[in-house]
Structure 1
């Protein structure tokens, strides 16, 4: 009887153990699931910068993951794979604990590093890599419980991150101007046109100094960068003219200048003034332009008076004929539409077909800039775009002080988030140009980056993608909604 009870007890106990073991095994999951979970946990930790806040322990965790993956590929024992996963989880947990300490001790340094990365200082190459190496020495010291070393050197690394941040801001804002200055030096422009070279160099140095003192004054930085580029372009133009005049005989130079003044004279009806000296010709042209301006102002005033008389007559007629409010509103609407159509036709004439498409969208005028070009993956306006942007500026000013929205669009190449950020930055670059050139006040220009969300053509062909990469300028005249 006792033997039977013992056997029964043993069978029940064995069943309980087997069930418990089976449950424990199910909780642990298959080796493949465990490896995938560790890989996901490492990816999440890396997105939280654990890989730099605790580099050694994070590296140990990655090494354990690689061993577990290789074990899966080779069909190693399940116990060995689980051991690697356990080691990886242990190292990752330790890395996360160290990361908390690093965030506390290196709080200001981490903020400086984040700001540097935000302006893409990591693309500077060696200057940034050196600072990053020094930063990793701090976090490695924290891992080794050498907190005094980290605290002692944190301020130095923080200052270094700020320096590369400013370097990156300068590189982004002044890259075009610096490139033109470098090319000018290689072409010996400083000898051909030393005065304009020095003026362009001074504008560049002023911008560099300002950014060093005010790295977050983005609007003023854009203005100073635009001025530096303008002066560099002027330097190139003057140097090319200087070389051209140097190659000419004196008489040929004089006749060339005469032809330019003659073309200008014809445009302002100054007559044939070639029998006068250069300064006298310029004076004659100035007087002719002044007289033309005065005539224009007089015609404008006469037109305003005429319009006022028409308005007065129309108002009298309205009273005499008993116009209703609805009729008057309709008349005003028709007048506004007539004026808008006239402005639309005028703006259409500013652009060539390859530069921009101009069309009406409700009560807005849309300028779809076909000809605007940006470097791949960047939001920097190159000098090649200035002629087109000048026409856009002229088009906007045709409407006085309208509200303007600048929309950035991309194709689908790359991630949607990156494209959306890029399209926003490109729209802001166009706004900065217009504000810097006093087209409109800052608060009358809005920007929007839509990335690939609003395609005009299929993204399946190079032509379609080229059409989708664009900047649209939406002009809302005053008084319309």
Structure 2
């Protein structure tokens, strides 16, 4: 197709031009035939892959995702050879691996914060000092785990995770208050005064009168006002849904007419442009992957996101200053950024589990900011397109029980969202 396009641009619409078009058509027909015959054999794997991708398994369960991708790629190679039996077996293995990655990612997404809150509550002695709240958290966490195992809808484990987080946080808070009272750092009278002040602020926000002598009545008034506002909100939501439905119907009719009008042109130009874009992107990706040694980092591509996972970008303990010895590695990162102009960047700082959670988050944030400032000083990219965030110990990619695992978890990840994908 490329050769034919160049000949057409040069005005050489000769026999060779017609021959090239014929070859293009034959190759496309062969690809369509193999695709049509092979797709049923990997359909389940493709569906499981989409579910895993939606669950962010490529980042939240990176190892499992990579294994599933390798199996699916192997199935694709077997399809090209029209070895449907082996392709089916590999597709089945890929399906299983994608589903496992999905469960792992959903557990991290919906229950990760609650699991961390549980550990903190346990350390504070909340299981004994606030048994009811702690037990409520355990029950919600178990419910979330069961929903994920049963592949329940998203709202189930999400609600369970939020409820478990709230219960464990409450248990932790109660244990902390108990400890403060026991140490005589705070009195019971002061706690009651603070509660009444909070209730008064809520009453003021709800525009109801607070009765200091009757906290229960004040709470009831606030609840009544909230119920009224919710009813108004539901009514407005129903009206808005109706308007949106009418607008959607109109948009659908317009889109249908436009699609029919441009169908022929889109099929021809779309296939050509997609082929060219894929080849260009693959070439740039191969170039980027060849820049980094295994000790420096690895390059991951998922959809429109290119992830530079940099193990070699290290810092002194508890420090966020970039050593000059790391400049050559950062120069490679600069080359990647210039290879994909127009991409937006998110620089993520990660730590191992050593030290406190809050301190790790702060340290990872400062390191991410240091890398951001270094790159902005050397790459002509608007600062508005470069974000720095610290994730602390929240997203390990290896076990924190070994030094090698902790070393892999102490990393900088640079996520490029590629334009035009």
TM over 0.5: no
Higher relative contact order (CA 8 A, sep 6+): 2
If the length of structure 1 is used for normalisation, what is the TM-score? Answer: 0.36
TM-score by length of 2: 0.40
